[in-house]
Chains A and B, each alone.
Chain A
């Protein structure tokens, strides 16, 4: 069964540094998402992306965050100047078509630790 893949599985970064999290969505999927989960808390929406542009973003997704689909397969989340509170698990998700009845499939996540 096709899966969403994310790299790296764990990223440790000094505060203030830039970090890029990478995702390869399922190949025929058209809608892409980033979510984050602070340890012990619920999963929170960050951003959705379709047709090379952001569809929606949350309040968390400020100007320190950006997303990009640099080629036909990768989908990246960049944090320009990391803060301690950015430490979390970041999940990429994708789904095949528009419509709430279509499930989103999640990757295994990247654990981001800011020191």
Chain B
């Protein structure tokens, strides 16, 4: 089955700096990669996703890049703000059956004011 590895597990940045989180996946058939943000005690919330026919996608301060050859994708947050503090999960869905999501281990991001 799909295996998703995520690094780093924790990330502390100064407000205004950038944060980068990286994920690798094992199934070369995967072609859709969502990123979820989870605040303490809350639901995972989809913040951005990318399909394999593009290499990069941006939405304001958030961007995701994808390298299908190397089987990795990354989340970039620029000009970080305290409200960006949360746990971020990458995921990859399975093509077959019910398209279950396999999540990475999560990255706890702390933005220090």
- Which residues of A approach B to under 8 Å, CB–CB? 31, 33, 35, 41-45, 48-50, 55-56, 58, 91, 93, 95, 98-109
B22 interface hit (Cβ, 8 Å): no
Say how far A22's CB is from chain B's closest CB, in angstroms: 15
Q: What residues of chain B have their CB less than 8 Å away from a CB belonging to chain A?
A: 30-32, 34, 36, 42-46, 49, 51, 89, 93-95, 97-106
Residues of B within 8 A of A43 (CB): 44, 89, 101, 103
| Contacts known (A45-B100, A48-B97, A109-B43); A101 close to B32, Cβ less than 8 A | yes
- CB-based nearest A residue for B33: A100
Contacts of A106 in B (CB 8 A): 36, 43-45
Q: State whether A44 touches B103 (Cβ < 8 A).
A: yes
Known contacts A31-B99, A43-B103, A55-B98; A101 and B51 CB within 8 A of each other? yes
Determine if B99 and A100 form an interchain contact, defined as CB atoms under 8 angstroms apart. Answer: yes
| Min distance, Cβ A105 to any Cβ of chain B, angstroms | 7
Interface contact A108-B42, CB-CB below 8 Å: yes
- Asked, given contacts A50-B98, A100-B95, A103-B49, whether A91 binds B34 with beta carbons under 8 Å apart, the answer is no
Q: Is the CB of A108 within 8 A of B49?
A: no
